[in-house]
Structure 1
Amino acid sequence: METPPNVDAVGAAIVEVQGVSDMFTRMQRACFAKCIPGAKESNLNFGEVSCVDRCVNKYVDVHTLVGSKLQESMEVQQKQQEAVQQTAQKIDSFFGSSKT
């Protein structure tokens, strides 16, 4: 039984939201620990704001880069699998036609 395409889209959207939420939580913890280790005042000072800004930008840039590299890798892997399947079909058709 094949699942409807809209169910797959909903599942993919849920996974994407979970991934973004996880990235945000990790980024928040990492940048807070690095830039605001001992928050004693209610407002951030200029150095803390600058540190958080740089940390968040780097975290998002790296996350985007890793995501695009992963996507490229998955596309290459899919093309390789398709090539293997085509080769297997050619071999099957070659040996299948020689049996008769």
Structure 2
Amino acid sequence: MALSTYNNYKKIINIYINPYIGSYKLSKITPLLIQDMYTKLVDKGLSARVVRYTHQVLSEALDQAIIWQIINRNPCKGLSLPKSTKKEMKALTV
């Protein structure tokens, strides 16, 4: 993993994940808890892209916890994520 990727993951974890579920033991993190976190992030005004990236980082971390046999299943699976919206392109004028 590149240093910039590591720093981006660390930022996502510290800013978006830890404030909501950082105090929970891995075995106590449920899909409902994570879904609530995503809803709160959207309510704070974060873009769908940021919430989806946060989901990706968290899901990968929980997949690794499964490999290490810390948990049996990934509570991120099957959650509803905000739909990405495409902004209308603005053409440059002469």
TM over 0.5: no
Please identify the structure whose Cα radius of gyration is greater. 1
Q: Please report the TM-score for the alignment, with normalisation by the length of structure 2.
A: 0.34
Q: Please report the TM-score for the alignment, with normalisation by the length of structure 1.
A: 0.33
Which is richer in helix? 1
